[in-house]
A and B are shown apart, each in its own frame.
Chain A
Amino acid sequence: MKTLKTILLGLALILLSCGDEEKKEQHTITSDIPVSREMLAELTAPPNVPTPVGRRKAKKLIVNMEILEEEGELTDGVKYVYWTFGGSVPGSFIRTRVGDEVEFTLSNHPDNKLPHNIDLHAVTGPGGGAESSFVAPGHEKTFSFKTLNPGLYVYHCATAPVGMHIANGMYGLILVEPEGGLPQVDKEYYIMQGDFYTKGKNGERGLQPFDMQKAVDENADYVVFNGSVGALTGDKAITAKVGETVRLFVGNGGPNLVSSFHVIGEIFDKVHVEGGELINENVQTTLIPAGGAAIVEFRVDVPGTFILVDHSIFRAFNKGALGMLKVEGEEEKKIYSGEIREGIYLPEGPGIQNMPTTDEIVESEIPAKSFKEQMKFGKQIYMQTCFACHQAEGQGIPNAFPPLAKSDYLNADVNRAIGVVVNGLSGEITVNGNTYNSVMTKQMISSDDVANVLTYVYNSWGNSKKVVTKKMVDDVKKK
């Protein structure tokens, strides 16, 4: 009886300890993680990412990806034939958790010209899947792999010529979340840098073919986020609210250039260095290798527009590597005051002072109330803006600038004269029997001023004594 008791006790203990182990469910060998049930993977186009894995168990995850070769816009007026995974550059974002068995089907659209394949850096196996996924147009290939290492990984096409396939946009990101998922945040986005090589220079219009020589020389015409200049600016900017934590999954497809990823006006609270497990804190700029990735996280504390750049800065401002994060919410003056005061700084000795220049037309402060005032103000304008060419008595300069005095061209059509002042004039005209072929730039003066100066001109030097009103000028402007 006693022995039975001890045996029972022992059994109970064993059972207890077994239970403990099961509760932890920590699989140190990730290849042993069992999968339950099947699930169709949600794929998203940038800058969106699929729903976090959260606490879900490892599953058989079905990924169906289609390869499309299609024309898109690299920047305004510049077309480019992109080769894409899922119709976007970068390709669709794939979100998995460690232990998932991914059944991957790669379909090559029949319209495509070329065979393709996929090398996922998250795959443990020869070619990262490239060997098993090499697929001709109009066909599909399926292979399967188990995600063993958590992290953020690049995938890309690895068909010869590999550089060209990548340069044309064949890259994207696959995330393998750890058990239990990444910590929750408020906003998540998908951003991937890539360099492009076109036959024409940056900005040269039309359909631009890939330039092999420039790619070999690593002389990029465009360096962009998410496949085109402006893919993340203006209306397409990513957004957040003050107080939210933002997580960016940032990849770099290359093919050649390494990214110095930086957000102007933010400090990364956390960076998963190179997309792996190591976390660095308080980072200004993080290096993202071609064919590599990083996860960056930061809380946005103040409103405004934050600019995402490759801090190899000419790429940002001259080649397109620029995106925007727009943050809305209450100002937080303690953290960022905005401009407090403006002063004039005069260094010792003679400084050169320049008049500020502006394109804005300032309305004249005092509208002319009478013909007399119109003449007075008009003369002032004339002496400031017209005098240099048309001269003090409206006589002009022979062969260069036509006369305004007794001018048949001027007197024939008052609306035309207003138009010339407002819009400028170039090309050949005949005035009083002489031809002139020159350029008058449009005058940046207010409608009042145009009315005044023309009234002055029409009522001087033997002209037709017309009176020009502000309304007449505005009517011409509206045409």
Chain B
Amino acid sequence: MSVTTKDAPVLTPRPSGGVMQSVRDSLVVAKRNLIRMTRIPEMVIFGLIQPIMFVVLFTYVFGGSISIGGSTDPQLYKEFLMAGIFAQTVTFATAGAGAGIADDMHKGLIDRFRSLPMARGAVLTGRTLADLVQTTLTLVVLAGVALIVGWRTHENIGKVLCGFLLLLLLGYAFSWIGALIGLSVRTPEAATSGGLIWLFPLTFISNAFVPVTGMPTFLQHVAEWNPFSATVAGARELFGNTMPGVPKSVTGAWPMEHPIIASVIWSVLIIVVFRSLAVRKYRSATV
């Protein structure tokens, strides 16, 4: 085994810095994470089973009992529910991003990356982009399952696709929260549980699974200002799944009156805030 540096190829370093390097480095890291996903297919499969179970359980267990605008017709609940399940699914991808980054820290890969002359945010951007790809696949499968159990949209395809884009934007925003959690905890296990627990109140104190009408007034306010609710309401509107008997807003909260634009604003705000926090944290990351 002989390793001399003399015969190393003469390397012309590419021009560095700027947006192009950032994009390129992010794509290199995204590719790495996507390759990993194909090597650990069970992660992708488990990521699919959970939302599918939610679709089936909610549809058939709660479907006939939950009153949507005064009617317990299961078909109404199916249409009401799906935007909520989709939104919950994209936010649960957060935990994956957190656990992945915590695992990289733990194994010393973050040290390796940080010692390389690469763009500052690329490790995290690459990770969140790969998660976005995974979330998209999950949503496609989930939408298929939803159609099988009887979910129907009542708007043109363009609007329906915009509904999915709104959901993916929320998922992407949340993966930056996951990234920050992953960088802040000591072990991948902590990132998984820490990445999940706060999602339960966040997704349940919302309009996702039941109309907020039945909640105590205080929770109604929380639910209607919840960024998650805005996306659910926005997607419902774009899918044509709004229910005539369910008021847009109970408390008169602005995001509920304008759910689509509110959803975009919330998601962009989350990305801006949590991306800069996460990149800052990354730059000083130590195990």
Chain A partners chain B: no
B contact residues vs A (CB 8 Å cutoff): none
